[in-house]
Amino acid sequence: MAPKTLYDKIWDAHVAHQGEDGTCLLYIDRHLVHEVTSPQAFEGLRMSGRKVRAPEKTIAVPDHNVPTTLDRLKRIDNEESRIQVEALDKNAREFGVVYYPVDDIRQGIVHIIGPEQGWTLPGMTIVCGDSHTATHGAFGSLAHGIGTSEVEHVLATQTLIQKKSQNMRVEITGKLSQGVTAKDITLAVIGETGTAGGTGYVIEYCGEAIQSLSMEGRMTVCNMAIEGGARAGLIAPDETTFNYCNGRPNAPTGKLWGAAVDYWRTLFSDDTAHFDKTITLRGEDIAPVVTWGTSPEDVLPITAIVPAANDFNGGKVDAAQRSLDYMGLTPGTRLQDVEIDAVFIGSCTNGRIEDLRAAAEIVQGRKVQDGLIAMVVPGSGLVRLQAEEEGLAEIFKQAGFEWRLAGCSMCLGMNPDQLGPQVRCASTSNRNFEGRQGRGSRTHLMSPAMAAAAAVTGKLTDVRELM
Amino acid sequence: MEKFEKMTAIAAPMPLINIDTDMIIPKQFLKTIKRSGLGVSAFHEMRYQMDGTENPDFILNQGAYRNANIIVAGDNFGCGSSREHAPWALLDFGVRCVISTSFADIFYNNCFKNGILPVIVTDEELNLLMNDAEKGSNARMVIDLESQRIETSDGEVIKFDVDQHRKHCLINGLDDIGLTMEKMESIDSFEKKMAKNTPWI
């Protein structure tokens, strides 16, 4: 048999039909649904008299619009947000899909609760009307975002019309230095490839530094594959993966568990498998990083200075100038001298328990700088509960952080958690686009430990100095 | 879905690279439960000033470009989120074709589902088309999907590639779900095989 990549293997196992022109119908094992990208799809089903083909493989949760304040179980004030959440509630119940409503302790960001509840397992195909579906690739499953028309297509047929992508391998060799995390890896890779570098590819992350990561770290890495332009990121499953999955509510048990693990052990890229593109970074070379601009590719080590537009070439010169203007930064300024106004710890990138532990470790015994907006938003109700049991919530509260309920929150500000114009935020989220956290707001992406460090100093900070 | 065959229209030049989906349609407009009505909000933060008035510097607020049906854009157009609200907003504004050197994958897909043709060209071709688009109301670009040709206002011709399945669907205005429903037997038998091979799913 010809050698195959991990992506090839998962793809081949899911082709339900192949047309003469190579267009495939790819069978979808799990379909995650949230309130923003699904109402038009359910309406489409209703208008054409179609049903959800596999409601038991369809998991719905409201996350983008939900307030994160403690009083959220009363009505959502914003009418449009309320209508959208109510529409999901109605659609989920009417079409009989698996559903975690806002008052369920298991509610949370769709990409946090999928793995948490054991819906995400190795070797699966997973889609969601959300680009950060790439997160689930951490389990060695083929997972990517789709548009609403495709959501409707999957609801109706449990398949997706697809053409195969190319294979790209991103290897991170060696070990990470102190203060360097999964977030720094994934940002460093995007800094290397650019935001279009992965377009048309599925990325497989490998190498010692990747294998050494926990499942949560791996999810952070794969989560931002989309920021590098790749539809999906993958990491081959191993004992770390199996241990994470074992005992999850929807993971197989008994004999089925054994059969599943036997199959999952076959999911790796063969030694001589062909990759169309390979990138290698040394783990030792990666520093704690932050973004300075308005594209996730605008990545620099925290020890660097703000670049000038003419440090770049081609179309990037104008784009960089626009970014500098928008971000209110002067070339030559030390990044560590940039003062911030807000800190956001959360999102599908960094809203898991290990992220909160890493942030709490820096915050413990310290105070958030006076006048800063600072909030911690756990990725799910269960993450929140665990953080409270471990005493992390208390550490954050004592330091002066707001301790919120689960949701997407200030990652994109569809709920009331938004920043004002020119407000500068150290954020653990995934996009620093213009207006992302509120019109005119300025986002610097970084790891939870780095965001925590910025909170206590009031500036972009090298976390290693606080360790 | 509306058919796309051939169009002759004004093209707006937007040379900025990495025009992302948050720029095309910011978050506050994603709260709709409908597909229509987003055109007025397309490119909202570039198009309107803080007080809600039009930003005169923005291309789509200028003269003939108010009626542009084509956008010629810098590299990596549509990067960011999977929101189909981005092509819905463009379509509702009147845009039926976007030309760039590359597109983000999900946005590219979403265009075809909504009767919008995304065309990928080389750097040199983009320069040529950008210059042509900058001529404003005096210039009309022709996009012919059948023959896979763009014709500038000066009559220069650029050929482009497009996936044949997608081309077929676009020219005929076909709905994907209907086409897939015809293959239900394949899906049924695949599901039976899966239930045996990977019963834990």
Across the range A277-296, mean pLDDT stands at: 98
Separation of alpha carbons A454 and A372, rounded Å? 10
B150 within domain boundaries: yes
Asked if B32 lies within 8 A of A80 by C-beta distance, the reply is yes
DSSP for residue A380: B
Average pLDDT, chain B: 96
| Cα A465 from Cα B2, distance rounded (Å) | 59
Rounded to an integer, what distance in angstroms lies between the CA atom of residue A431 and that of residue A411?
8
Across the strands, what pairs with A426?
A: A343, A444
> What is the ipTM, given to two decimal places?
0.94
pLDDT of A21 reads 82
Q: Provide the mean pLDDT of chain A.
A: 97
d(CA A128, CA A143) in angstroms, rounded, equals 8
- Whether B160 has a pLDDT exceeding 90, the answer reads yes
User: Would an 8 Å CB–CB cutoff place B106 in contact with chain A?
Assistant: yes
B138 in reach of chain A (CB within 8 A): no
CA dist A448 → A289, A291, A297 (Å): 11, 14, 19
pLDDT value of residue B3: 94
Neighbouring C-beta atoms of residue A400, cutoff 10 Å? 16
Q: What pLDDT is attached to residue B186?
A: 96
**Is the separation of the CB atoms in B149 and B156 below 8 Å?**
no
> Residue B43: inside a domain, yes or no?
yes
Using CB atoms, which residue from B34, B83, B180 is nearest to A157? B180
Per-residue pLDDT of B36-77, as tens digits, reads 999 999 999 999 999 999 999 999 999 999 999 999 999 999
Q: Is the pLDDT of residue A258 over 90?
A: yes
∠ at Cα B104 (B98, B108), nearest 5°? Answer: 50
Structural tokens at position A43: 């309406």
Which residues in B lie closer than 8 A to residue A199 (C-beta atoms)? 76, 102-105
Out of B17, B26, B34, closest to residue A435 by CB: B26
Size of interface A-B (CB pairs under 8 A): 185
The predicted pLDDT at position A48 comes to 94
pLDDT for the residue B27: 96
Nearest chain A residue to B20 by CA: give it. Answer: A433
**Token couple for A232:** 């999906």
Of B177, B180, B200, the CB nearest to A256: B200
Q: In chain A, which residue's Cα lies nearest the Cα of B32?
A: A80
Q: Do B113 and A149 touch (CB under 8 A)?
A: yes
Q: Who among B18, B83, B186 is closest to A17 (CB)?
A: B186
Please give the Cα distance from A270 to A268 (Å, whole number).
Answer: 6
Q: Are A175 and A209 in contact (CB under 8 A)?
A: yes
Q: Which two tokens stand for residue A181?
A: 């995390």
pLDDT of residue A182: 98
pLDDT at A462 over 90: yes
pLDDT band with cut points at 50, 70 and 90 for residue A369: very high
Report the pLDDT averaged over residues B17-24: 97
Average pLDDT over residues A109-113: 98
Beta bridge partners of A26: A15, A160
**How much helix, strand and coil, in percent to the nearest 5, is found in chain A?**
40, 20, 45
Strand pairing of B97-100 and B117-120?
A: parallel
Interface test with B, best of A151, A157, A190, A224 (most B CBs within 10 A): A157
CA angle B194, B195, B196 (to 5 degrees): 85
* Distance (Å) from the alpha carbon of A205 to chain B's nearest alpha carbon: 19
pLDDT of residue B1: 86
- Return the pLDDT at B138: 78
- pLDDT by residue (tens digit) across B91-102? 999 999 999 999
What CA dihedral angle connects B180, B183, B186 and B190, to 10 degrees?
A: 20
Calculate mean pLDDT across residues A49-60. Answer: 98
Express each pLDDT in A403-448 by its tens digit.
Answer: 999 999 999 999 999 999 999 999 999 999 999 999 999 999 999 9
Nearest-neighbour CA in chain A from B11: distance (Å):
20
B79/A50 CB distance under 8 A: no
CA torsion, points A347, A351, A357, A361, in degrees to nearest 10?
A: 0
Question: What does the pLDDT read at residue B139?
Answer: 84
Q: Is the residue at B1 inside a domain? A: no
A17 to B187: CB separation less than 8 angstroms, yes or no: yes
Instruction: For residue range A200-235, list pLDDT tens digits in order.
Output: 999 999 999 999 999 999 999 999 999 999 999 999
**Does residue B56 form part of some domain?**
yes
B174-195 per-position pLDDT tens digit: 989 999 999 999 999 999 999 9
Asked if A151 and A129 touch (Cβ cutoff 8 Å), the reply is yes
Tell me if B176 and A129 make a contact (CB, 8 A cut-off).
no
A313 contacts: CB under 8 Å, gap ≥ 6: none
Q: Which helix H or strand E contains B44, and what residues bound it?
A: helix B44-47
Q: Please count the other Cβ atoms lying within 10 Å of the Cβ belonging to residue A158.
A: 23
Distance from CA of A443 to the nearest CA of B (A): 14
- In three-state secondary structure terms, B157 is strand
Is B75 in the A-facing interface, judged by CB distances under 8 Å? yes
B143, part of any domain: yes
Kindly determine whether residue A259 and residue B81, on different chains, have CB atoms separated by under 8 Å.
Answer: no
CA pair distance A356, A392, nearest whole angstrom? 7
Strand, helix or coil for residue A339:
strand
Contact: B16, A318; criterion CB under 8 Å: yes
φ, ψ for residue A101, nearest 5 deg: -70, 170
Q: Count CB neighbours of A259 within 10 A.
A: 15
* Alpha carbon of residue A363 to chain centroid: 23
The pLDDT assigned to A402 comes to 98
Which pTM value belongs to this model?
A: 0.97
Q: How many residues does chain A have?
A: 467
Distances, alpha carbon A406 to alpha carbons A103, A117, A133, A313, A361, in Å: 11, 15, 18, 41, 21
Q: Measure the CA angle with vertex A32, ends B186 and A232; round to 5°.
A: 80
Buried b (16+ CB within 10 A) or exposed e, B81-105: bbbbbbbbbbbbbbbbbbbbbbbbb
**Burial zone of A75 (CB within 10 Å; 0-12 exposed, 13-18 middle, 19+ buried):** exposed
Residue A195 has pLDDT above 90, yes or no: yes
Chain A contact set for B181 (CB, 8 A): 156-157
Residues of B in contact with A32 (CB under 8 A): none
> Do A83 and B23 count as a contact with CB atoms less than 8 A apart?
no
Which residue of chain B is at minimal alpha-carbon distance from A230? Answer: B105
- Neighboring chain B residues of A65 at a CB cutoff of 8 Å: 31
Predicted confidence (pLDDT) at residue A20 exceeds the cutoff of 90: no
Mean pLDDT computed over B17-27: 97
**Structure tokens, A194:** 């650019």
Instruction: State residue A360's pLDDT score.
Output: 98
Q: Which of residues 85-104 of B touch A (CB under 8 A)?
A: 87, 102-104
pLDDT of residue A1: 81
Q: Is A437 helix (H, G, I), strand (E, B) or coil?
A: coil
Give yes or no for B151 touching A (CB within 8 A): no
φ and ψ at A296, to 5 degrees? -60, -15
Return the residue matching tokens 């710890």: A345
- Cβ neighbors of B98 (< 8 A, separation 6 or more) are B70, B71, B73, B77, B78, B90, B111, B116, B117, B118, B119
Cross-chain residue pair A156–B181, CB shorter than 8 Å: yes
Q: How many domains does chain B fold into?
A: 1
Residue B137 confidence (pLDDT) above 90: no
- Residue A81: its chain B contacts at CB < 8 A? 31
The alpha carbon of residue A279 is apart from the nearest alpha carbon of chain B, in Å, by 20
Q: How far is A372 from chain B (nearest CA, A)?
A: 24
Per-residue pLDDT at A384 exceeds 90: yes
Using CA coordinates, name the residue in chain A closest to B50: A439
**What is the separation of C-alpha A146 from the centre of its chain, rounded to a whole number of angstroms?**
15
Alpha-carbon distance of B10 to B8, in angstroms, equals 7
User: Residue A196: closest CA among chain B residues belongs to which residue?
Assistant: B76
- Give contacts of B 22-61 with A, CB under 8 A: 22-23, 26-28, 30-35, 45, 50
When pLDDT is averaged across residues A369-385 and rounded to a whole number, the result is 98
Query: Is B23's CB within 8 Å of A434's CB?
Result: yes
Domain of B45, CATH number, reads 3.20.19.10
- Residue B120 CB coordination number (10 Å): 17
* A392-399 vs A353-363: helix crossing angle, rounded to 10: 40
The answer to whether the Cβ–Cβ distance between A433 and B110 falls below 8 Å is no
Domain of residue B182 covers 6-197
User: CB of A441 within 8 A of CB of A421?
Assistant: yes
Q: Percentage of chain A surpassing pLDDT 70? A: 100
Query: What SS3 class is residue A234?
Result: strand
Q: Do A25 and B187 touch (CB under 8 A)?
A: yes
Contact B33 A29 (CB under 8 A): no
3-state secondary structure of B90: helix
Res B188: pLDDT? 98
CA gap A190, A203 in Å, rounded: 12
Q: Do A199 and B23 touch (CB under 8 A)?
A: no
- Residue A367: Cβ-neighbour burial (10 angstroms; 0-12, 13-18, 19+): exposed
